[in-house]
């Protein structure tokens, strides 16, 4: 599907000013990549090239995803390491590490989306966008965005997020949370300790270091991280196996403690790939 979308977008790149992409699904716009197939393919060394190409296609599309993957041994990808550091305060770190789900208008309040339009208005919105003679897309979007009486679901916890997730290390974030006896803090400790420990540290480092980088550079680094995650004995395979394939939820992460996720390990994960394997992008617009 990604390859088909990419080929069409390339055809329209220099001529179209408005592109509408709709989803046939009712639960979500996109469920993400088929990680089950990717993990199972790791059992066949000859399929490794195809797996790398699958990740490469996702990055070439230059799209964003707000669903972190630390629970299955990956990291916030598909451009997330570009936009997460640019959210208010330490919200990006919090979302990246915990995988907290933003729903509906929350995505707007978080600063990820530019507009929020209720589902029942989408048909009318599409009609008006397609009948535009002069492209004034923002005017039409503003017309359909209702007055918002909702509150950001994390509004009451923003000070806690700022205080705890501003810590320089994952270990200290957890220590700060432990000093807070509130249900919210204890819940987040439990969430973090269930995640892949290597993914937590990779995510923290990526978000910390990529705030000043271009989107193109962030995508290249994410691709390196994805390629170095593709091992049969790695956390990605284990996470998909335990949560999505066998569904026994008996996760055995490697390493088993945060202190064992060393800088040496992280440096290897972030290392530049051989020239022929590096992600190649048209960077003029990124």
pLDDT band per the 50, 70, 90 thresholds, residue 258: very high
d(CA 28, CA 66): 12
**pLDDT score recorded for residue 94:** 95
Dihedral of alpha carbons 164, 166, 170, 171, sign: negative
10 Å CB burial of residue 219 (0-12, 13-18, 19+) is buried
Structural contact between residues 227 and 55, judged by C-beta atoms closer than 8 angstroms: yes
Predicted local confidence at residue 37, as pLDDT? 56
Give me the pLDDT at residue 10, please.
Answer: 67
Higher pLDDT, 194 or 134: 194
Here the tokens at position 112 are: 């990820």
Q: Report in angstroms the alpha-carbon separations of 201 from 70, 85, 93, 117, 135.
A: 10, 15, 11, 36, 44
Give Cα 34 to chain centroid, integer Å. Answer: 15
CA angle at 100 for the pair 75 and 186, rounded to the nearest 5°: 110
Cα(271)–Cα(267) distance, integer angstroms = 6
161-165, 199-203, 218-222: least confidently modelled range: 218-222
Q: Tell me: pLDDT of 46 over 60.
A: no
pLDDT interval class at 44 (50, 70, 90): low
CA distance 42 to 51: 8
Sort residue 20 into left (φ over 0), alpha (ψ -120 to 50) or beta. Answer: beta
Tens of pLDDT, residues 65-93: 344 467 767 677 677 888 899 998 999 99
Reduced to 3 states, what is the DSSP secondary structure of residue 240? helix
Q: How far is CA 278 from the centre of its chain?
A: 20
Q: How far apart are the first and last CA of the chain?
A: 23
Q: pLDDT at residue 238 above 70?
A: yes
What was the pLDDT predicted at 160? 97
In the predicted structure, residue 62 carries a pLDDT above the cut 70? no
Taking the C-alpha atoms of residue 11 and residue 34, their distance in angstroms, rounded to an integer, is: 26
Please say whether the dihedral angle defined by the alpha carbons of residues 184, 190, 194 and 199, taken in this order, is positive or negative: positive
What is the C-alpha separation between 72 and 75, in angstroms, rounded? Answer: 8
For residues 135-154, average pLDDT:
84
- What secondary structure does DSSP assign to 9-29, as a single string? HHHHTTT-S------S-SS-S
Is the pLDDT at 63 greater than 50? The verdict is no
CA distances (Å), origin 184, targets 161, 166, 173, 176, 234: 11, 17, 14, 13, 31
Confidence at residue 64, expressed as pLDDT on a 0 to 100 scale = 38
Predicted confidence at residue 30, as pLDDT, reads: 56
For residues 124 and 249, the model is more confident at: 124
Evaluate if pTM is beyond 0.75.
yes
- Which of the four pLDDT bands, split at 50, 70 and 90, describes residue 36? low
Spatial separation of the C-alpha atoms in residues 131 and 118, rounded to whole Å? 20
Taking all residues of the chain, what is their mean pLDDT, rounded to a whole number?
A: 78
């Amino acid at each position: 599907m990604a390859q088909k979308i990419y080929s069409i977008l390339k055809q329209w790149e220099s001529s179209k000013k408005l592109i509408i992409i709709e989803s046939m699904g009712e639960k979500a716009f996109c469920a993400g990549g088929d990680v089950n197939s990717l993990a199972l393919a790791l059992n066949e060394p000859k399929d490794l090239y195809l797996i790398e190409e699958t990740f490469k296609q996702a990055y070439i599309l230059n799209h964003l995803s707000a669903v972190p993957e630390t629970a299955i041994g990956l990291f916030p990808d598909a451009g997330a390491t570009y936009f997460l550091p640019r959210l208010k305060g330490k919200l990006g770190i919090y979302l990246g590490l915990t995988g907290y789900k933003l729903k509906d208008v929350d995505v707007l309040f978080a600063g990820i989306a530019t507009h929020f339009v209720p589902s029942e208005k989408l048909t009318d919105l599409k009609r008006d966008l397609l009948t535009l003679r002069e492209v004034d897309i923002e005017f039409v979007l503003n017309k359909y965005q209702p007055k918002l009486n909702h509150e950001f679901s994390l509004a009451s916890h923003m000070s806690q997020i700022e205080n705890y997730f501003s810590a320089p290390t994952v270990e200290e974030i957890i220590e700060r949370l432990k000093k807070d006896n509130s249900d919210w803090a204890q819940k987040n400790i439990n969430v973090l300790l269930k995640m892949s420990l290597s993914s937590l540290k990779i995510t923290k480092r990526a978000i910390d270091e990529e705030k000043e980088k271009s989107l193109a550079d962030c995508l290249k680094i994410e691709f390196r991280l994805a390629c170095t995650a593709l091992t049969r004995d790695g956390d990605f395979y284990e996470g998909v196996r335990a949560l999505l394939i066998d569904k026994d939820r008996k996760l055995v992460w490697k390493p088993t403690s945060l202190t064992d996720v060393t800088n040496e390990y992280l440096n290897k994960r972030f290392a530049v790939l051989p020239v022929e394997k590096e992600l190649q992008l048209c960077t003029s617009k990124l």
